[in-house]
Structure 1
């Protein structure tokens, strides 16, 4: 009956229905009812009339709209409206009275179909006005996470340089300490020379590690950063760039041990009485010191490269969720190795100090461990936030012969997402010949 009256009113030029829309889906309204309320707290006291009322602010405005979908295509109108309701988060509501409400959160819809209304349905809608997110509780952006990782990495390198310099200073007071220092310096220079040769950089070490041992950290960081700046960390070059970065990090960590092997020197695991000046020898503890130091440089650089990749992914996606996990797990594996090194060094120092009746100062190692844990946590949160921004990854079955562009249009009504499907299915043989029955990975929406 309402449908018939509305049609007669339209023919007569009488506008009995109000126009509204949500997320761009238009619909007609029969009535609106909006509620404004304030939150108050009443303070009442025994044997005293009345109460003191404290105003704590305006509640979100509640919008109740009676929508009326009519005409021969009312079912299609209803489907479009339900699709808009299923989207998460607030959307723009065009209210028939107030106009545009940019952030309206849909709450519920009651669909009422009566037998007497042949080509129409009534939908009772409820919205509330959503405010802007507060910065205090908002998740850190990709840029903020990348900056935090860079800052933590710099602090880690400062602590690594301090620990290396302190260890070298302690060696000077030991018997045959000068020979051990010379060996450690030779190992450090070997690392710098090989890294410079591998990345084909003319910026060889210009610092004297004998005078400034901490220069091992700064010079090595400069070399690996120069190499990272040449990598493509966005688009189709992300995978190749990341593989090159991880390969260089692995080589950096392996160079101290290769120095011992290539020089065919004697490795000393226990002290002996012969002066080191009479033999070509290196202690395990000295090689571990160099390895531990260069590993921290590799960790810092890999974390920064991974953070840059994740930062780029937030604007120009090129990796799947699985690949993002792989990048994050690769860095966390290197961090775990560095943590193991630091904890072993801390325990060794405590054991030696206890044997001498002294107390070990483990503050530098503890600081390095804290920085490593912070790097791992920050990177994990950045990756998790990036993955959560994307729709769930599911498997879908192809129902007709087509190519990826047609398939993207069938599934998302957007042919430009063909590249996304190709990225999610790297093993796909021919993207121009998709056969019925094939199962492909795709985002849920």
Structure 2
């Protein structure tokens, strides 16, 4: 096999050009240690330098001047650009070093541009860390990505199951089951408009409707996010709304099938009617977990502005979110085909990692939580003034010490949880 078999169309920043020759070079950074009365030298290899690429680009044709101007604009722009090397393929961080244009009297409608590139590496950032707000907002981005991956997997697999329902009786039975799931999920929230498509005929539209309804749970009542601030009561409210504890309040029961390491949609002993119901329930489970993760992101964003929850509370939020996402991953493995289950699982893992990173960022941004000894009899306002010079922080001490908040006077020698500064 020669390089001509895999030759690629060269371009820089999307501007294509022909190539006559290329020349690539890499120089290693070597340090030589020489010693008197000793032949040779000790070589210390400090690594390879950046790859240097010289390209002889050829522009020709009746409109060569227009093409040349476009290429020169791309070469003159500052910063990195994407170079498609004709032999080695994509170089994502190519920096133009210089270029030289040559015209020949024998070729009035052509020119040659000698371009030197150097390949850059990823930037090294010292002591940089995303803010707590940015970390919390990243949860929303990861949640939407997981939702898109899950919706695509649901649409593909439900369409495949629909092809197996050849009998009219089976189609009617599945439509009834899926309609019951829709009514039960919609019963958890009011005032949300949906397209009203059925899951069997329009699986993607149905999946979007379910996502809209479940997301509405975290917005009802309208003050839900405000209730997240200050205690875990708001978080518990949203969590109970998304994951009802019994069937009467909205929990969805799964059909019982025999245990097997194979996913349900890859087994021949599971009827298509059961597969369709399992697939719908899996989608509902996933959307609830994603909605819970987004609620956790909203809580952590509030905490990044004004911390009110203790590190243990934040750890509880992250742990409960990971638990819900793990259940969704397990459900996807049991139902979806292998490739779809892997893609969905990876997206949910990324979402869980985003929640974990956001919780850690909020916790680390705060001073360490320590135990302090009450120096003299007094109330929480007085202690806040003694320790921090700000009596308004007594509310913080009350949250960290619920039992002490109920006592009008704290005795000397008592030990309370408090931030170090």
TM-score (norm 1): 0.57
For the structure 1 residues 187 and 433, does the alpha-carbon distance in structure 2 shift closer, same or farther, using more than 3 Å as the test? farther
- Residue range with higher mean Cα deviation, 179-188 or 239-248: 179-188
8 Å contact from structure 2 (residues 175, 200) kept in 1: yes
| Distance (whole Å) between structure 2 residues aligned to residue 173 and residue 155 of structure 1 | 28
The CA deviation at 1:285 is 3.9
Match of 1:119 in 2: none
8 Å contact from structure 2 (residues 158, 279) kept in 1: no
1:232 to 225, 229, 236: 225
1:392 to 368, 377, 396: 368
Alignment of 1:440 onto 2:416: yes
1:310 to 268, 284, 300: 300
Greater CA radius of gyration, 1 or 2?
1
8 Å contact from structure 1 (residues 193, 204) kept in 2: no
Matched residues, number? 292
The CA deviation at 1:296 is 1.1
Deviation digits for residues 47-100 of structure 1 (CA, Å, limit 9, x no counterpart): 9xxxxxxxxxxxxxxxxxxxxxxxxxxxxxxxxxxxxxxxxxxxxxxxxxxxxx
The CA deviation at 1:316 is 1.2
Alignment of 1:363 onto 2:345: no
8 Å contact from structure 2 (residues 159, 200) kept in 1: no
Deviation digits for residues 239-277 of structure 1 (CA, Å, limit 9, x no counterpart): 23211211122139969996669xxxxx6748xxxxxxx
Deviation digits for residues 98-156 of structure 1 (CA, Å, limit 9, x no counterpart): xxxxxxxxxxxxxxxxxxxxxxxxxxxxxxxxxxxx86752222333234322222222
The CA deviation at 1:425 is 1.1
The CA deviation at 1:178 is 5.3
Unpaired segments ≥5 residues, structure 1: 1-40, 48-133, 262-266, 271-280, 350-361
Alignment of 1:193 onto 2:186: no
Match of 2:244 in 1: 251
1:241 to 225, 234, 245: 234
Match of 1:290 in 2: 280
Match of 1:374 in 2: 350
| Distance (whole Å) between structure 2 residues aligned to residue 171 and residue 138 of structure 1 | 49
Alignment of 1:336 onto 2:312: no
TM-score (norm 2): 0.60
| Distance (whole Å) between structure 1 residues aligned to residue 288 and residue 235 of structure 2 | 13
For the structure 1 residues 435 and 287, does the alpha-carbon distance in structure 2 shift closer, same or farther, using more than 3 Å as the test? farther
For the structure 1 residues 199 and 428, does the alpha-carbon distance in structure 2 shift closer, same or farther, using more than 3 Å as the test? farther
Structural mapping, 1:6-25, within 5 Å? none
Unpaired segments ≥5 residues, structure 2: 1-29, 37-123, 259-270
Match of 1:407 in 2: 383
| Distance (whole Å) between structure 1 residues aligned to residue 125 and residue 246 of structure 2 | 41
The CA deviation at 1:236 is 4.3
- Residue range with higher mean Cα deviation, 330-339 or 136-145: 136-145
1:139 to 125, 129, 132: 129
Match of 1:14 in 2: none
Match of 1:301 in 2: 291
Query: Any idea what SS the aligned residue of 1:314 has?
Result: helix
The CA deviation at 1:227 is 3.2
Query: Any idea what SS the aligned residue of 1:387 has?
Result: helix
| Distance (whole Å) between structure 2 residues aligned to residue 220 and residue 238 of structure 1 | 29
8 Å contact from structure 2 (residues 164, 272) kept in 1: no
8 Å contact from structure 2 (residues 225, 298) kept in 1: no
Higher relative contact order (CA 8 A, sep 6+): 2
| Distance (whole Å) between structure 1 residues aligned to residue 155 and residue 206 of structure 2 | 10
Query: Any idea what SS the aligned residue of 2:225 has?
Result: coil
Deviation digits for residues 359-396 of structure 1 (CA, Å, limit 9, x no counterpart): xxx32221111111111111111111111111221222
The CA deviation at 1:217 is 2.4
Query: Any idea what SS the aligned residue of 1:401 has?
Result: coil
Query: Any idea what SS the aligned residue of 2:164 has?
Result: coil
8 Å contact from structure 1 (residues 235, 318) kept in 2: no
For the structure 1 residues 320 and 42, does the alpha-carbon distance in structure 2 shift closer, same or farther, using more than 3 Å as the test? same
Query: Any idea what SS the aligned residue of 1:232 has?
Result: helix
Q: CA RMSD in A?
A: 3.5
| Distance (whole Å) between structure 2 residues aligned to residue 217 and residue 256 of structure 1 | 21
Alignment of 1:152 onto 2:128: no
| Distance (whole Å) between structure 2 residues aligned to residue 422 and residue 246 of structure 1 | 25
Match of 1:425 in 2: 401
The CA deviation at 1:189 is 3.2
Deviation digits for residues 253-311 of structure 1 (CA, Å, limit 9, x no counterpart): 969996669xxxxx6748xxxxxxxxxx9965443322211111112111111111111
The CA deviation at 1:44 is 8.8
